């Protein structure tokens, strides 16, 4: 077996190991009993190159297996079972664990039963082995290792066939995490059951848990003995749609976003339901909670620290939970003490100088906010003790954006560079006509014409006319006009929130960098005479310089909102959830497409549930930290209705839609980038191409023709439910891809894996490195730019720096935002990165697929080296230069922590 540490560490394997070939083709007819074949030695250094899969077998068990010519006789096989322990247990868990060890000696055991691939001709049900009990549970109860290995012994006869499933009954009081089971003793070699699931006590969940082997089967190719089990397991996962979900349940179902508000707290905390004809939105995981007391259409809230329901196996594993909890503690420390300080010393609410921000990285909040000893004495003892023990946690790491060049964020070239290589590089688009035109209804939002004129930009075009610049693909734009304008009336009436709807025009310079040449700032059109649009151009004097900096900050605030609410949350978190729910409901764990998608669905339901509880909810972090406030999620929903299209979520289609690339079959990826030094697109295409090749190899292996696609009821049900239930509000749109051919399936799967891995990584893990320095990307703005006839204009002229700082978030708002994006940018120690997966050599029993996976993994490593070379190339100005950050957000690997790199398999934070 390739790289199977489980068997190597198992006491079942003798010191002298032998290896043999194990049949692994799902489409081959299963023999009633497979004969032993010639045994060969395979050096361990060659394991990854062996094809088909090799497996370690104990010699004594091989000798016990009868030959086919003998009469049917009974013989013994053994199970090696891996249970993963918790690293930390509370007192109750420890007590129950010891009680379970005691009752295990009295016969309340963990019981296993093998299920054959073959039907029993007498009962027409599957053949079943005798039951077997895990040995030595009581003796190993005190083992502190992360993994504990148990054995069980079955008696079967030679007519049993090959096991395709195994049932587990937990007669203990407490759940346990079953990582894997390996069965030894059959002549085909060890059989592997990657489980990775919590097994509940039969006291709470009656019935036996079923786990299938790693042998993939399309539905119509399922062995007779497993068909009923396959169908029943899916029924269990779908549930009956009724009742409140228990945290131990494994039920996947859909619901609308009717739990973001809390009307029971008052009208200010009510929020509209997202999902349905009125406000279209993707569906989320159903929890079955009772309605709120004051609104029957709103689901009651579960507030932190109580957990929100997700199916048990979707919850964070311990190391992930510890990382997230540590981040939450950090957020509490950052929020609690500033709020206490605010009540003691009101004058510290605002950022009074850039030194105030710098001190957050040097002194920490305690010193910065001046929480002096006299004030500390007035605080509760618990808080003072917290304050005394947490000084280290209250210091922020210096964000990468200012770590090399403290003043880089002020420069126009850095402003343009971040549109291509920052945390939100997916909104830049080519300008095809000038001036740009709004698509909003002029009856409601006023004239569609822009205030931008040729005279605003012609002097910035290196001698070109505007038309020449358009024809030569030199003009680009970041346009937030249409998404913000419908909400500005409401946003600007909120306390301490001021916003424009912005458009920014860039010129592509001969060096390949983008130069901002004009910013249009729009306010709602109230009267025909109102001056609702304003154009700001690069400065020529001191006053114009500060106005230009304020205009760029408003653009960055728009950019931060669209990044978080649309590109990050909507496109990678919310829109993925329906596909994940439908996959669990409609595709068996033995389905090859489920096996392919499995690592790309890890933790997403849990992180989305936590977001509904703490981040995107009424009065949550997002509403507090971003300019749109209580209208944040309505902006997200407006984007879903107006611009989200699944067929344009893949990278090549998105680049073509934005005019950044044109089809070109002579290029390696079939595309020519019109901005050659576009780090996100250039590196992204490397990963996209590797993903697409891997998925095509995988799909073509199981679906050599279209008829298999069309006849696969689980696959078709998955896609139909994803679209017509999970995305029901847009299900009638004509742009949904069909699923009729292998090419259709390759495109759909590659898009989903791209969104879950590389797209999410590019949008997520730079949040603190770029946004942790708030002046670089202020998440909210508190002041508009003063006009000459405004009363504030005099104050602006007298102290423009003070005016600028007062327009930024307050110190409390800034620190809260920094704490949150610090947590969101953190990799956990158990992260799985692209090209990695649990049990890399046994997640599938198909040797060709295992070999193809290792080739894909090797390609991901080659891509990483290519990205390193690009980041060292001085000709690529957007990723290399004095004080310039290398673009590593799509570099596949990373260590734990905030690294500004790494592409996990899934949306996991």
Residues designated as active site = 568, 573, 760, 764, 909
Neighbouring CB atoms inside 10 A of 896's CB total 14
Whether 683 contacts 695, CB under 8 Å: no
Q: Where are the alpha helices (DSSP H) in 784-893?
A: 793-798, 800-807, 811-824, 847-871
Phi and psi (nearest 5°) for 180?
A: -165, 160
Whether 186 contacts 77, CB under 8 Å: yes
d(CA 284, CA 255): 5
Whether 284 contacts 577, CB under 8 Å: yes
Neighbouring CB atoms inside 10 A of 290's CB total 9
Enumerate residues 6+ apart whose C-beta is below 8 A from 534: 451, 520, 521, 522, 785
Taking phi over 0 as left and psi of -120 to 50 as alpha, with beta for the rest, 288 belongs to left
Neighbouring CB atoms inside 10 A of 247's CB total 12
Phi and psi (nearest 5°) for 654?
A: -65, -40
Neighbouring CB atoms inside 10 A of 633's CB total 27
Residue with tokens 């002194």: 363
Whether 191 contacts 130, CB under 8 Å: no
Taking phi over 0 as left and psi of -120 to 50 as alpha, with beta for the rest, 308 belongs to beta
Q: Specify the DSSP class assigned to residue 256.
A: -
Structure tokens at 97: 């664990």
If we measure between CA atoms, which residue out of 491, 608, 670, 597 comes closest to residue 844?
597
Which residues partner with 673 through β-bridges?
661
Sign (positive or negative) of CA dihedral 722, 728, 729, 734: positive
d(CA 110, CA 112): 7
d(CA 191, CA 188): 8
| Segment holding 493, helix H or strand E | none
Sign (positive or negative) of CA dihedral 152, 156, 162, 167: negative
Q: Where are the alpha helices (DSSP H) in 55-170?
A: 59-64, 91-105
User: For the packed helices 542-562 and 800-807, what is the interaxial angle rounded to 10 degrees?
Assistant: 10
SS3 labels along 730-761: HCCCCCCCCCCCHHHHHHHHHHHHHHHHHHHH
d(CA 166, CA 233): 13
N-term to C-term CA, the chain: 33
Whether 161 contacts 127, CB under 8 Å: yes
Whether 773 contacts 409, CB under 8 Å: yes
Burial of 352 from C-beta contacts in 10 A (0-12 / 13-18 / 19+): middle
Q: What is the DSSP string of 783-795?
A: -PPPPTTSTTHHH
If we measure between CA atoms, which residue out of 762, 722, 720 comes closest to residue 739?
720
| Segment holding 131, helix H or strand E | none
Structure tokens at 812: 């409390």
d(CA 870, CA 848): 33
What SS3 state is found at 615?
A: helix
Q: Specify the DSSP class assigned to residue 877.
A: T
Taking phi over 0 as left and psi of -120 to 50 as alpha, with beta for the rest, 56 belongs to beta
């Amino acid at each position: 077996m390739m790289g199977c540490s489980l068997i190597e560490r198992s006491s079942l394997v003798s010191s002298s190991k032998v290896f043999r070939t194990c049949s692994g083709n799902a489409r081959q007819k299963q023999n009633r009993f497979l004969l032993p074949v010639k045994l060969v030695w395979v050096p361990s250094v060659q394991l990854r190159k062996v094809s088909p899969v090799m497996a370690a077998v104990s010699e004594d068990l091989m000798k016990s297996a009868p030959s086919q010519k003998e009469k049917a006789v009974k013989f013994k096989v053994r199970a090696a079972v891996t249970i993963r322990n918790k690293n930390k247990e509370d007192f109750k868990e420890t007590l129950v664990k010891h009680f379970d060890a005691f009752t295990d000696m009295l016969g309340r055991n963990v019981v296993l039963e093998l299920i054959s691939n073959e039907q029993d001709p007498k009962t027409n049900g599957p053949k079943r082995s005798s039951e077997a009990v895990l040995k030595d549970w009581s003796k190993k109860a005190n083992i502190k290792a992360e993994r504990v290995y148990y054995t069980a012994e079955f008696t079967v006869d030679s007519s049993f066939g090959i096991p395709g499933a195994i049932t587990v009954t937990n007669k203990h009081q407490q759940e346990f995490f079953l990582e894997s089971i390996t069965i030894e003793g059959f002549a085909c070699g060890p059989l592997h059951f990657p489980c990775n699931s919590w097994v509940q006590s039969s006291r709470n969940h009656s019935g036996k848990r079923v786990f299938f082997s790693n042998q993939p089967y399309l539905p119509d190719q399922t062995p007779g003995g497993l068909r009923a089990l396959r169908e029943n397991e899916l029924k269990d996962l779908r549930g009956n749609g009724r009742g409140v979900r228990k945290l131990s349940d494994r039920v996947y179902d859909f619901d609308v976003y009717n739990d973001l508000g809390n009307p029971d707290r008052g009208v200010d905390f009510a929020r509209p339901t997202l999902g349905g004809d009125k406000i279209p939105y993707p569906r989320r995981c159903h929890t079955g909670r009772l309605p709120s007391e004051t609104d029957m259409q709103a689901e009651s809230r579960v507030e932190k620290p109580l957990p929100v329901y997700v199916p048990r196996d979707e919850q964070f594993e311990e190391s992930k939970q510890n990382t997230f909890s540590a981040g939450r503690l950090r957020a509490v420390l950052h929020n609690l003490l500033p709020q206490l300080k605010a009540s003691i010393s009101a004058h510290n609410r605002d950022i009074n100088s850039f030194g105030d921000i710098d001190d957050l990285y040097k002194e920490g909040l305690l010193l910065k906010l001046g929480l002096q000893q006299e004030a500390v004495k007035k605080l509760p003892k618990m808080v003072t003790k917290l304050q005394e023990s947490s000084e280290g946690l209250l210091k922020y790491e210096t964000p990468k954006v200012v770590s090399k060049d403290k003043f880089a964020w002020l420069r126009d070239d850095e402003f343009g560079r971040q549109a291509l290589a920052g945390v939100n590089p997916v909104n830049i688009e080519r300008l095809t006509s000038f001036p740009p035109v709004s698509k909003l209804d002029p009856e409601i939002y006023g004239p569609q014409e822009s205030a931008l004129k040729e005279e605003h930009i012609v002097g910035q075009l290196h001698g070109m006319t505007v038309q020449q610049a358009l024809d030569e693909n030199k003009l680009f734009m970041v346009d937030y006009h249409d998404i913000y304008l419908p909400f500005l009336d409401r946003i600007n009436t909120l306390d301490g929130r001021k916003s424009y709807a912005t458009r920014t025009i860039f010129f592509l310079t001969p060096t390949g960098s983008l130069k901002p040449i004009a910013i249009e700032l729009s306010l709602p059109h109230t009267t025909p005479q109102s001056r609702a649009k304003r154009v700001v151009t690069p400065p020529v004097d001191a006053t114009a310089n500060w106005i230009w900096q304020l205009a760029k900050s408003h653009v960055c605030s728009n950019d931060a909102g669209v990044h978080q609410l649309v590109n990050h949350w909507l496109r990678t978190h919310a829109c993925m959830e329906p596909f994940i729910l439908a996959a669990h409901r409609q595709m068996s764990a033995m389905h090859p497409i489920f096996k392919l998608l499995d690592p790309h669905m890890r933790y997403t339901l849990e992180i989305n549930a936590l977001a509904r509880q703490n981040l995107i909810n009424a009065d949550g972090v997002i509403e507090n930290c971003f300019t749109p406030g209580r209208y944040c999620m309505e902006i997200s929903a407006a984007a879903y209705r107006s611009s989200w299209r699944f067929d344009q979520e893949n990278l090549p289609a998105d680049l073509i839609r934005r005019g950044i690339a044109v089809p070109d079959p002579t290029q390696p990826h079939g595309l020519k980038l019109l901005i050659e030094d576009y780090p996100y697109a250039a590196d992204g295409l490397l990963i996209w191409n590797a993903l697409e090749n891997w998925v095509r190899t995988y799909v073509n292996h199981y679906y050599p023709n279209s008829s298999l696609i069309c006849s696969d009821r689980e696959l078709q049900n998955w896609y139909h439910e994803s679209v017509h239930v999970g995305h029901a509000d847009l299900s009638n749109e004509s742009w949904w891809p069909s699923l009729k051919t292998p090419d259709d399936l390759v495109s759909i799967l590659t898009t989903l894996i791209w969104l879950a891995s590389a797209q999410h990584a590019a949008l997520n893990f730079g949040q603190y490195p770029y946004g942790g320095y708030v002046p670089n990307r202020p998440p909210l703005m508190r002041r508009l730019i003063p006009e000459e006839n405004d009363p504030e204009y005099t104050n602006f002229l007298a102290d423009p720096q003070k005016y600028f700082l007062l327009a930024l978030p307050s110190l409390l708002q800034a620190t809260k935002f920094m704490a949150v994006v610090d947590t969101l940018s953190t990799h956990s120690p158990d992260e799985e990165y692209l090209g990695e997966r649990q049990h890399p050599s046994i997640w599938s029993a198909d040797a060709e697929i295992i070999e193809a996976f290792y080739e894909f993994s090797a390609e991901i490593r080659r891509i990483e080296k290519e990205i390193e070379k690009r980041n060292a190339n001085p000709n690529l100005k957007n990723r290399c230069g004095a004080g310039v950050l290398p673009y590593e957000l799509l570099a596949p690997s990373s260590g734990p922590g905030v690294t500004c790199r790494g592409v996990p398999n899934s949306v996991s934070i």
